[in-house]
Amino acid sequence: MAAHANDFRLPFFVKGDFDGFVGLFIDNLVNLLLITGLCAGVLGMPGEIVFGKILPGTALSVLAGNIFYSWQAHRLARKEGRGDVTALPYGINTVTLLVFFFLIIMPVYFQNRDALGAERAADLAWKVGIVSCFISGFFEGIGAFFGEKIRSITPRAALLSALSGIAITWIALHHTVQFWDKPLIAFIPFAFILVEYFSRAKLPFKIPAGLYALVIGAAIAWAAGAMDAGALRQSTATLSFYVPKIAVFDMFKVDLSLVWPYLSLAIPLGLMSFFATIQNLESAAAAGDRYPAMPSLAMNGVGTIIGAVLGSPFPTTVYIGHPGWKGLGARAGYSVLNGSVVTVLALTGIMGVVKAIVPLEAGYPILLWIGVVITAQAFQTTPREHAPAVALGLLPAIAGWGVSLLRQFIGASQNLGSAQADELIMRHLPALKSIIAFQEGALFTAMFLTAVAVYLIDRDFLKAFFWSLPLIVCSFFGVIHSTAVGVGMAGHLPAGYALFSATILAIYAYNRYAKNEV
């Protein structure tokens, strides 16, 4: 039997890899477009930085991770003699992308633009960004040495519910509401995706639903006049070949006093990515693919460091969504295909052409499927009695998504940053003040609250008490419930959590006393 397993070979590419690639690629494509639009459009960074440094560094970081996790899937398949092993999805970290841009790169640019000029300020902002990204990647990877232990002591419901909250909001709902605005373009692709993956019905000519979605969606969009032929012509201007460049020497030119104020963001974001990867590993294990924590976590950090060394100020990470890709029939090939295509787009400038041809609404239904599957998994693969704890863990991410929409609306209409938008919200909508605090650090809050709830359901009050302690510590240092890390940033919340913990401990003591009395 062992010899049979060792001789087993996972096919390099299977039919389901295309659909898995489409969903993963759409997510990475959106992030590449965000990078291009924010850096070149909002800040006006020169093409030498955006197309010559940032995009090539980002692409090679994604490629390195995709190759590793594909190799890891092949290795697991050979070890267990299974043909249904799916590689961990990997790509650009959307949350940290936005945080690094709006809270590190953009502030450095505007603080120095008047003194240095726009071009030199953009170069300085990029350099501060890659140093911060390097530091964040270090803290992503350092968790490899104790990740397995954390994974073993954390209830599965606590790990999966935190992911589910993000999945049902940022992956499913966030994209769903966008294609509901363009039903003529999106609803036929939507039907293909739901029919194949909910009913498992066969489609004509054995063509994957993802390919039908993209081709038919693009055809309808162009036929309806929803696409811009002028934008397609203009997109060809970016076509070229961009050679990746080593940015290590640029890092040494940065005054570390400029980086220091942003470590309170870079370090927690690295740690958050570490915890998110542990949750993703548990999600993959629940779907049948149990990957070792140490190499998976180490590569997560190494990928970000590779990107920073090659000029990318935006971290990469293991994505949530493994069960969804597995449900699509993706195995290991989709990972390499994604990394290869992202690299080609970034090194040649073809990305702009792809965006001009295919409407994103045609690929969004796949992301809806992924989000729904992840959320369902949290309920299906945990004990039935833990379902209320899973539901509790959804709340921080739902609150975060709602607050983000409000911030975007206020920021766009009033031309304000997120901090100013929060002040406006609290001034005119005081009932939402607590929601702003609640959703900060949603990943950690969801995990700790769910763990407390799991052990309360199991009537293990002492473990519930121990899992309530991180809520006190994290809120005291501003890791949760605060927009900035620092002592006392979360107001009275640490004291509130202390009372919460003390109450659980008192009930534990009372129950022990009552049991002894009986």
Does the global pTM surpass 0.75? no
Length in residues, the chain: 518
**Across 461-469, average pLDDT:** 97
- What is the per-residue pLDDT across 216-264, written as a single tens digit (0 to 9) for each? 999 999 999 999 888 888 878 778 888 888 998 888 888 888 888 777 6
- What is the rounded average pLDDT for all residues in the chain? 86
Collapsed DSSP state (helix, strand, coil) of residue 359: coil
pLDDT of residue 357: 85
Collapsed DSSP state (helix, strand, coil) of residue 318: strand
pLDDT of residue 3: 44
Sequence-ordered alpha helix ranges (H) in 349-439: 351-357, 364-380, 387-414, 418-428, 433-439
Rounded to whole angstroms, how far apart are CA atoms 382 and 286?
A: 9
DSSP per-residue codes, 422-456: HHHHHHH-GGGHHHHHHHTTHHHHHHHHHHHHHHH
pLDDT of residue 2: 43
Confidence of residue 328 (pLDDT cuts 50, 70, 90): confident
Question: What are the domain boundaries of the chain?
Answer: 2-382, 387-512
Confidence of residue 287 (pLDDT cuts 50, 70, 90): very high
Contacts with 335 (C-beta within 8 Å, 6 or more apart), sequence order: 24, 66, 67, 69, 70, 73, 87, 88, 89, 90
Q: Highest mean pLDDT: which of 205-209, 275-279, 286-290, 423-427?
A: 286-290
**Across 47-70, average pLDDT:** 93
**Across 265-273, average pLDDT:** 75
Whether pLDDT at 7 is above 80 = no
- Give the whole-number percent of the chain exceeding pLDDT 70: 95
Whether pLDDT at 42 is above 80 = no
pLDDT of residue 104: 87
pLDDT of residue 95: 65
Rounded to whole angstroms, how far apart are CA atoms 390 and 449?
A: 10
Q: Which tops the pLDDT comparison, 413 or 133? A: 133
Confidence of residue 71 (pLDDT cuts 50, 70, 90): very high
pLDDT of residue 1: 41
- What is the per-residue pLDDT across 344-360, written as a single tens digit (0 to 9) for each? 989 998 876 877 788 87
Rounded to whole angstroms, how far apart are CA atoms 289 and 462?
A: 32
pLDDT of residue 324: 86
Whether pLDDT at 331 is above 60 = yes
- Which range, of 362-371, 379-388, 502-511, averages the lowest pLDDT? 362-371
**Across 45-70, average pLDDT:** 92
pLDDT of residue 413: 64
pLDDT of residue 142: 86
- What is the per-residue pLDDT across 128-176, written as a single tens digit (0 to 9) for each? 999 999 999 998 888 888 877 887 888 989 888 887 888 888 778 887 8
CB-based contact 446:275 (threshold 8 Å): no
- What is the per-residue pLDDT across 439-458, written as a single tens digit (0 to 9) for each? 888 888 999 999 999 999 99
**Across 19-33, average pLDDT:** 81
- Orientation angle between helical segments 333-348 and 55-80, nearest 10 degrees: 170
CB-based contact 325:111 (threshold 8 Å): no
- What is the per-residue pLDDT across 293-317, written as a single tens digit (0 to 9) for each? 899 999 999 999 999 999 999 999 9
